[in-house]
Structure 1
Amino acid sequence: MLLVGATPMAALAQGASDPRPVLLDQETTHIADITVDGQQYSVYRHENIFSWASGIDIYTNSERVTSESTAEAVLTELAQRRAAQDLGTEDIDPLRTTSQNVSTAASNVSSTATSINETLVYMERMKTVRENGTTVYNASVQAAPQITDFNETAHEALPELRSFDNDSTAYRSNATTLIGLLEQRENGTDIDPQRLYAQYVATLEAKNDVSDHLGYEGIDEQLSGMAGTSEAIAMNVSSVPERGNETAQHFWRVHNESTVTANQTAALALSDYEFDDVQDRAESLEEGWMDDWNSRQNPASTVYQSIAAIVVVIGVVGGYVTWRRR
């Protein structure tokens, strides 16, 4: 079923290519003209007296498109253009809010990553600083064995935190561009639907990339665990004679920033903003249209076969009736 606007039979002349109905076609509807890769196509729906001979035909230069890959390319782009119409001003506020929240979280994540990295650098340097016959690092580890776990966890977490920062920047940039296009369209500017849909997809993918960092085993859980470890280390090393207070200050900073950032990223809840419905509609339209296009292949043959089958049935019934009358 086609859930799009249609042009009645009287307006068929608007099509770039005229349709070619077959025997027993009852109605022909002009769906759209569309240009794909510089080639113009006309899309029509034909309703035949036999429902299984009904479906979609695509024409270019007055010839039917018989290539499945070409039909798929045309119908995919048409579906995306139609789905892009669903994007409206009601999407602007959620886009702006989520991108701002993500940007704020990314700023805190970046600051936390800096604190973690500085602590790692500091502890590495303390391996060469000796006081009271031992290195500051060894004295600290003796008082707080969790430092070994912290080092391992921190080295694993830093790439993830930096990736979140990069993905957040991409989402903010794409969301801002999409908001601009929607506002321009709302103000009467003619925006290419394909450009709008492409920007929508880029924004959706960027949003999904950010979401991949959240939730189960996401950065919020990593930072929460690191906050607890850092707190324990800070409490244990603070009384160490070998620069205990200085070492504790590094871990207290990691604890404080990790706690705030973990709570903030956990509260982002990007999944609450359902933004993939436009893509779902485009895919649904394309799938339905391709089914309709496939059903319309060899329509004349289908009609003649159906007529032949009816003739055979009539002949059989007629023969049976004649036999019964004898």
Structure 2
Amino acid sequence: MNGRKLATGLVVILLLVGTTPTTAIAQGASDPQPVLLDQDTTHIADVTVDGQQYSVYEHENVFSWASGIDIYTNGGRVTSESTAETVLTALAKRRAVRDLEAESAAPLRTTSRNVSTAASNVSATATAVNETLVYLEQTKTVRENGTTVYNASVEAAPRIPEFNESARELHPELRSFVNASTAYRSNATDLVELLERRENGTDVDPQRLYAQYETTLEAKNDVSDHFGFGGVNEQLAQTANTSEAIAMNVSSVPERGNETARHFRSVHNESAVAANQTATLGLDAFDFNGVQNRADSLEGRWMEDWNSRQNPASTVYQSIAAIVVGIAAVGGYVVRRRR
């Protein structure tokens, strides 16, 4: 057999392989579009991003370098890298969240309860701070012994203006923390309940589970924003120290001293408890980062597979051509040697 016959025979065989029906094809947003020598097509998932549905398929070709992932929507292949990355990132996150177990999410329930407890204490502090600020304003109009109660109080406790300034900045921060904590508790509870329902055999929509996870993560980040250098826990500790010092000194003021001291003692007691609660929350007891790391790993691998599948037809034909040329060259060499 000469080189030309060998090459012709190989092409016939390859074409026969290429006509082998693909298997494991599922129906999604769009049907897959196999190319020559695709041997298997697997439906990975359908995913909706920004209201648009996409179907993700994995194609296995005779030539491994022509295998990879395709994304289809509205009857066509996705060829935009940015769109592919958006779709595969969303799908990877959904898969990472899908792998969550109810047992592994148990720390989430515990953390959310701790946050809720801390929020109650912070709310009590905010109330005490606000009542004290209102009281101080009132003392500016009350005169006793030839001066206002406020001026007499400041003379006895020089840190009152410092408290006034810092407390006015702190109060909205405390209210913001309470609101963020309430949202986190609510969303974390909903997420755990979805995981538990799925574990008990109830069918839970993966996209709903993913959406709840995303909402919970955002709520957790909103709470976390209140921490760090100069965060709410440090501000509460400072307020506790300042109000304690003022309470000790202001009680010496005639007539109103004991009442003024009572307000500051209330602020001290509430803020000291809240400072301890917020300093030991441990918001990272549930491993949100672990979910993100799994998603990043999946997305990276899928993007590589998508990139390798961008020109599958030309890759296959080029590979066939290279093999044919190679075989023809070998055949020619063999023929010459026999002569």
Please give the secondary structure, in 2, of the residue aligned with 1:30: strand
Shift of 1:18: 5.5
CA RMSD of aligned residues (A): 3.0
Residue number in structure 1 paired with 2:240: 227
Please give the secondary structure, in 2, of the residue aligned with 1:66: coil
Alignment of 1:71-110 (within 5 A): 71-110=84-123
Shift of 1:20: 4.0
Aligned-partner Cα distance in 2 for 1:10–1:248: 82
Alignment of 1:1-326 (within 5 A): 11-16=23-28, 19-23=32-36, 25=38, 27-34=39-46, 36=48, 37=51, 39=53, 41-49=55-63, 51=65, 53-59=66-72, 63-68=76-81, 70-305=83-318
Shift of 1:38: 6.4
Shift of 1:110: 0.4
> Conserved in 2, the CA contact under 8 Å of 1:224 and 1:262?
yes
> Conserved in 2, the CA contact under 8 Å of 1:33 and 1:42?
yes
TM value normalised by structure 2: 0.81
> Conserved in 2, the CA contact under 8 Å of 1:116 and 1:254?
yes
Aligned-partner Cα distance in 2 for 1:113–1:35: 44
Shift of 1:306: 5.1
Residues 201/280 of structure 1: CA separation in 2 closer, same or farther (3 Å cut): farther
Post-superposition Cα deviations, 1:35-74, rounded to whole Å, max 9, x if no partner, equal 53464625123345253x3321234576433344553454
TM value normalised by structure 1: 0.84
Aligned-partner Cα distance in 2 for 1:92–1:299: 42
* Number of residues of Structure 1 aligned to a counterpart in Structure 2: 312
Shift of 1:130: 0.3
Aligned-partner Cα distance in 1 for 2:74–2:233: 57
Shift of 1:229: 0.7
Shift of 1:315: 9.5
Work out which structure has the larger RCO, using CA pairs closer than 8 Å and 6 or more positions apart in sequence: 2
Q: Which segments of 5 or more consecutive residues in structure 2 lack a partner in the other structure?
A: 1-20, 334-339
Post-superposition Cα deviations, 1:260-311, rounded to whole Å, max 9, x if no partner, equal 1101110111123322322332243223212321221112223444566677
Aligned-partner Cα distance in 1 for 2:24–2:105: 37
Shift of 1:33: 4.1
Identity %: 68
> Conserved in 1, the CA contact under 8 Å of 2:56 and 2:69?
no
Point out the structure with max Rg over C-alpha.
Answer: 2
Structure 1 counterpart of 2:219, one-letter code? A
Shift of 1:79: 2.2
Structure 2 counterpart of 1:86, one-letter code? D
Which portions of structure 1, spanning 4 or more consecutive aligned residues, are displaced by more than 6 angstroms?
309-320
